[in-house]
Amino acid sequence: MLKLATGLLMLATLEGTAAFTAGGAVRPTSAPRFGMEPICMAASPPPSGWDMNAITPDGKLKQRVQGLTRKTWQFSNLEKDRVQVALQSEGRPVKADIELWIGPDWTPFKMKAYSEDGKLRPIRTLVGTRNKAAKIEVRNEGEYEFPFDAASNYATEAMAKIPHEIPMGSEGERVDGGAIRSQNLKPETERLEVVLNTEGRQLNARIELLAGPNNPKQTFEVFTNNGELNSLCVCFNTPDAGNTVRVVNVAPLEFPCFFYCKEI
């Protein structure tokens, strides 16, 4: 009888448990989340007339420049005096020489350009052709592992006015030969347009975008025999805060230049 009573008690206990589980409301347990929260990325600067897509909307003027090779673009319209050049990579460094050729053996404008990240900070500049038939050469000074895309075309009417509008709309700063000038950028600045020119004398200068002390993210170094006809006009992307633009006049004391900038 004791064994029978014990067996009946165990059976009742099991049935009660099953009934409670089946009839009772079971509160589901939420599974732990192991996925990463989305990361808020910095917004890219809005498209502008400086971008490569503005130079060649259909992509026909864009050329791939492998390491240690060069590409050229021919311009023969004597009514226009300004061309636009853009270089960009897939995120790798860009190191290039940009030259203006007029005639068979005259190179009145030479520029060395460097960017730590050719996608985040592409190379963008305007070059004066002096209303002459001209050719633009872009030479990749990097190794074979560092190719980039380049394009050049006549600047639109609005873009061609920038080298004159920025000096007229901002107070310039004189930079004597051998002198250095720097300016801190506002944290909200997304794009910086810079013009370096002279009163017709030679222009031999370097301009750098710094993030931290002596940490150049992008550099342009220019030489031209006439800084009025061939002023240096470039555009920097500033995707992060804490940037400084620094200008170094490499020319002797008797060749000052003038520095103008516009933060956007």
Give the pLDDT of the chain (264 residues) as one tens digit per residue.
444 444 544 544 444 444 444 444 444 444 444 443 443 344 455 568 999 999 999 999 999 999 999 999 999 999 999 999 999 999 999 999 999 999 989 999 999 999 999 999 999 999 999 999 999 999 999 999 999 999 999 999 999 999 999 999 988 999 999 999 999 999 999 999 999 999 999 999 999 999 988 899 999 999 999 999 999 999 999 999 999 999 999 999 999 999 999 999
Q: What angle do CA 203, 246, 258 make, to 5 degrees?
A: 40
List, in order of start, the domains of the chain with CATH numbers. Answer: 50-160 (2.60.120.680), 166-264 (2.60.120.680)
Residue 162, sorted as left (phi over 0), alpha (psi -120 to 50) or beta, turns out to be alpha
Residue of 88, 96, 95, 92 whose CA lies nearest to 150 = 88
HEC-encoded secondary structure of the chain: CHHHHHHHHHHHHHHHHHHHHHHCCCCCCCCCCCCCCCCCCCCCCCCCCCCHHHHCCCCCCCEEECCCCEEEEEECCCCCCEEEEEEECCCCCEEEEEEEEECCCEEEEEEEEEECCCCCCCEEEEEECCCCCEEEEEEECCCCCCCEEEEEEECCHHHHCHHHHHHHHCCCEEECCCCEEEEECCCCCCEEEEEEECCCCCEEEEEEEEECCCCEEEEEEEEECCCCCCCEEEEEECCCCCEEEEEEECCCCCCCEEEEEEEC
